[in-house]
Amino acid sequence: MLIKTISLTVVCMVIATAVMMIASLLSKKTLMDREKPSPFECGFDPKASARIPFSLQFFLIAVIFLVFDVEITLILPMTIIIPYTNPMAWTLISITFIAILMLGLVHEWNQGSLEWAS
């Protein structure tokens, strides 16, 4: 039983190696093909570099949007739980949460992160 398993494993490895070698020999890759690594623009040579600088302001706006989007997903369920909670505790927690959001927004505004044009 052990010999049968070992021989089957060897046969599978030989077949896999043979298939990989045949595929490697039949593929028509050339190492000096200059068109392969270049960016594709409708079959023409690119006019400008494909590597454009990344806008840090766009990144900051995206992060701020993500933070406030997550905060909205936390605020929306608060309206559903109004009948199940103490109104005074709910009001205090809601006002505290929204005040923290407003302080964050004012801080971002004062830092100039919300200004798109410099």
Evaluate whether 60 touches 111 at the Cβ level (below 8 Å). no
State residue 76's pLDDT score: 86
Tens digit of pLDDT for each residue in 48-84? 666 667 777 777 778 888 887 888 888 888 888 888 9
Over the range 42-57, which residues count as b (16 or more CB within 10 Å of their CB) and which as e?
eeeeeeeeeeeeeeee
State yes or no: pLDDT of 10 exceeds 90. yes
Q: Which two tokens stand for residue 58?
A: 């766009």
Q: How confident is the model at residue 108 (pLDDT cuts 50, 70, 90)?
A: confident
**Reported pTM:** 0.46
State residue 11's pLDDT score: 94
State residue 88's pLDDT score: 93
State residue 113's pLDDT score: 72
Mean pLDDT, the chain, whole residue set = 80
For the chain, domain boundaries: 56-111
Q: What is the mean pLDDT of residues 22-46?
A: 67
For residue 38, the number of C-alpha atoms closer than 13 Å in the C-beta half-sphere is 14
Q: What is the spatial distance between Cα 28 and Cα 49, in angstroms, rounded to a whole number?
A: 28
